[in-house]
């Protein structure tokens, strides 16, 4: 699979009194990018949920490097950092489209659960879904 690129324009309401994107909004941007990324390789959230699988967030790490403002465009490139069948770590390269500067360095950690939020091993629970995630590690 080729590199996935998600572009996100910054809206005025996402900025703070100083005119820069409020730090809390970056977590939302990562979620948007991750949803579209997963859809791109055949794992949209609705298909997972229809099969009784959820992927809760266990942790978010975000280091702020450069600010963006209203009218700027973020380029977010999610990628698989780790996959065990039970846990998933997604890394994100986030840059300003105009300048190319790194805006944040981020990652999210997740686990796979059934609809009752009991952890499951995707390798045992659903081979087809497991194979899609494992194929991303080979790239």
Query: Which residues are bridge partners to 93 per DSSP?
Result: 77, 105
pTM: predicted TM-score of the whole model, two decimal places: 0.93
Q: Supply the mean pLDDT for the chain.
A: 95
96 is catalytic: no
Tell me the domains of the chain and their CATH numbers.
6-137 (3.10.129.10)
pLDDT at residue 45, as a whole number: 92
Taking residue 50's Cβ as centre, other Cβ atoms within 10 Å add up to: 9
pLDDT at residue 136, as a whole number: 85
- Percentage helix, strand, coil for the chain under 3-state DSSP, each rounded to 5: 30, 35, 35
pLDDT at residue 1, as a whole number: 57
Q: What is the pLDDT of residues 72-116, one digit of tens each?
A: 999 999 999 999 999 999 999 999 999 999 999 999 999 999 999
Listing from the earlier edge strand, what are the strands of the sheet with 102-111?
6-9, 73-83, 87-96, 102-111, 57-64
Structure tokens at 59: 């942790």
Which residue out of 9, 16, 114, 131 is catalytically annotated? 16
Q: What is the pLDDT of residues 19-69, one digit of tens each?
A: 999 999 999 999 999 999 999 999 999 999 999 999 999 999 999 999 999
pLDDT at residue 139, as a whole number: 55
Q: Is the pLDDT reported for residue 6 higher than 90? A: yes
The rounded distance, in Å, linking the Cα atoms of 116 and 103 is 37
pLDDT at residue 138, as a whole number: 67
């Amino acid at each position: 699979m080729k590199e996935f690129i998600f572009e996100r324009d910054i809206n005025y309401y996402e900025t703070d009194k100083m005119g820069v994107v409020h730090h809390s909004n970056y977590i939302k941007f990562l979620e948007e990018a991750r949803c579209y990324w997963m859809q791109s390789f055949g794992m949209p959230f609705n298909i997972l949920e229809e099969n009784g699988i959820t992927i809760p967030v266990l942790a978010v790490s975000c280091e702020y490097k450069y600010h963006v403002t209203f009218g700027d465009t973020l380029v977010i490139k999610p990628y698989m950092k780790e996959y065990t069948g039970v846990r998933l770590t997604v890394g994100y390269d986030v840059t300003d489209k105009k300048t190319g500067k790194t805006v944040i360095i981020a990652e999210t950690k997740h686990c796979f659960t059934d609809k009752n939020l009991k952890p499951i091993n995707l390798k045992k629970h659903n081979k087809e879904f497991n194979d899609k995630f494992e194929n991303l590690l080979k790239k």
